[in-house]
Structure 1
Amino acid sequence: MNKKELCALYPQAKIIQSEKDFHHAKLNLLVESEVVAIPKGNLSKTEETLLKNLFSEVKQDYFQPWFRFLCGKGNAPKEMTYRVIQYQTTGEITHYTRLLSELLPTNFSFCNISKTHGFFLEEHSSFELSKEEYRDVFAALDNDLSVETFGYIGNFYHTSVTTSSLFQEEMKNFEYVATHFHTQGISTLSEVMLHKTALELRKESGILQYLKKELEQDSDMVEIIKQLWINQGSISHTAKYLNYHRNSLQYKMKKFEERYDFSLKDMNELYLCYLLVI
């Protein structure tokens, strides 16, 4: 259901443009980067639940200046190069975001756009956090609060670039992460694009479909391939992560090469194997 269809189904619905029009007595839904407000008195409990499942219910933070800029509704509060880092948690989003903001640098801008989905802007600098550091931050917070959270680190953009279409794509990438990577903690643009590429390639190639079925029969090697790629072919780092002795890992890699004629020491062949198992 798109925005036009929703408004036709509920004639009393209105598209609101500013925080002054936001009201908690209405069901405020994010539809195609705009807020559609429907009076709750006009909805049955079943309808309200269904609409919440179809669309994200937005919080008042939606009208925060940075979010409006990202949606093409206003100017950037500051000229800078930035990236958007999105996250979804099983915890209470306002409390989670407050604690997260206390763990991260003070120059970050946070915004909660639904009851489970939030994001923050990180300015490009020499002090920006790595994926591993973000993973540690979210893992520590999840452990303290006994919740589960996954996130997506977007690309860097400058505020002079028209962002609405880019941000919509970043939002779609986050939805993709929610479907395919939600158990992996923090994901990146490169991981999302690699996964999409792999799916498209496998659809078109009977050879790759056959190889995928073959490789997936050995769950240990699937995990080894994934970790070798993540560690850019480093046997030492992969062995440490998987709790293998280095010699044991090399033995498994040798047996794999004998069976499939793919050398996991060759980055091209490792890349192909990785595309098959993700």
Structure 2
Amino acid sequence: MKHHFPEATLHPSASNDQGLLSVPFGRQFIWIPKETLSKKELLLFQMREGDRQKNIDHQAHPWYPILFDHQPVSSPNMYRFIHVHFTKVIDGLQSEWLAEIQQMLPAVVDLFFIYDNQAVIVEAHSGENLRVEDLDGLFVALDMDFDCYSQLFVGPFHRSEHDFTQLWEEEATFYYEVLQLRKHQKSLDLPTGLSTLFISGAKPYLALLRTLYLDWFEEETETIIRALWQHQGNASSTAKALFMHRNSLLYKIDKFQTATNLNLKIMDDLLLGYFLCQTFSTHTD
């Protein structure tokens, strides 16, 4: 710790100074000036602040040193992390919860609690892995069974030759940052999270963008834009999904272009339209 954070000092109690971060260390606290930490380091420490770290058996959980000590993966495959964050923790039934997950997700290669309010599930690529919307339903049922409330970030699959410690830290930081913006969303994945951060970054220009949304969009236009986005701008697939004749769809797209100078046949223009819908629509989660 001293090697990585030379300004850190050890004290018997937590600091009351808002400029210092107090990190539990055994029965003592490490004080670190916040100004010396990068944004990523501060986020990672804040994720752990106030939580009791679990004692992990490295033999029973071989992925712990892979995630936290840069150890290589021994079995070539692709793996993903399911980050689980509890806003209402499991009371004394953590082992039973883990066993239930293991039974429901057969591709799991390791899973454990890192803190009382954080667990990680490591899953191998099997071709039958559940999508985020399916996992959402599964965890809703588990929350009811165990009288808890969990939120999850379903990460992408990574090849086994990568540094999984770095990937884990990046994903955990990313998830924590997105969670501050979507505190009530049950399940997130990388595309949803990226769009959230993209929208957050546009805050200085919200008045301008809101004006465009109000001037440009009607409910039917939003429906068309969302369908075009889901079908990668393919007019034929979009028309089929909307039960609309292709020529009728193209007419509406051309009419929208005449009114706004936004050509929805061009992906950059479609991205702007989709971004406005996601940011300002009352139908957006």
* Shared fold, TM over 0.5: yes
- The answer to which structure has the higher helix fraction is 1
Q: What is the correspondence of 1:18-33 to structure 2 with a 5 Å cutoff?
A: none
Q: Are the equivalent residues in 2 in contact too, given 1:154–1:170 (CA < 8 A)?
A: yes
Q: Are the equivalent residues in 2 in contact too, given 1:10–1:38 (CA < 8 A)?
A: no
- TM-score under structure 2 normalisation? 0.61
Distance in 2 (CA, whole Å) between partners of 1:210 and 1:260 is 15
Do residues 131 (structure 1) and 126 (structure 2) align?
A: no
Q: Are the equivalent residues in 2 in contact too, given 1:229–1:274 (CA < 8 A)?
A: no
Segments of 5+ residues of structure 2 without an aligned counterpart are: 15-21, 31-45, 280-285
Aligned to 2:120: 119
Alignment partner of 1:108: what SS?
A: strand
Alignment partner for residue 57 of structure 1, among 52, 56, 66?
52
Offset of 1:116 from its aligned partner? Answer: 1.1
> What is the letter of the counterpart of residue 59 of structure 1?
K
CA separation of 1:108 and 1:169: change in aligned 2, threshold 3 A: same
Offset of 1:10 from its aligned partner? Answer: 2.1
Q: Are the equivalent residues in 2 in contact too, given 1:69–1:75 (CA < 8 A)?
A: yes
Distance in 1 (CA, whole Å) between partners of 2:196 and 2:138 is 25
Offset of 1:263 from its aligned partner? Answer: 8.2
Do residues 79 (structure 1) and 92 (structure 2) align?
A: no
Q: Are the equivalent residues in 2 in contact too, given 1:57–1:114 (CA < 8 A)?
A: yes
CA separation of 1:84 and 1:56: change in aligned 2, threshold 3 A: same
Deviation per residue, 1:106-153 (Å, 9 max, x gap): 643112111111111110121221222212211222243443321111
Alignment partner of 1:144: what SS?
A: helix
Aligned residues: 234
Segments of 5+ residues of structure 1 without an aligned counterpart are: 14-29, 44-50, 240-245
Distance in 1 (CA, whole Å) between partners of 2:64 and 2:214 is 42
CA separation of 1:203 and 1:129: change in aligned 2, threshold 3 A: same
Deviation per residue, 1:29-64 (Å, 9 max, x gap): x97xxxx62316x89xxxxxxx99735431123853
Q: Are the equivalent residues in 2 in contact too, given 1:65–1:77 (CA < 8 A)?
A: no
- TM-score under structure 1 normalisation? 0.63
CA separation of 1:4 and 1:81: change in aligned 2, threshold 3 A: same
> What is the letter of the counterpart of residue 81 of structure 2?
V
Distance in 1 (CA, whole Å) between partners of 2:214 and 2:117 is 34
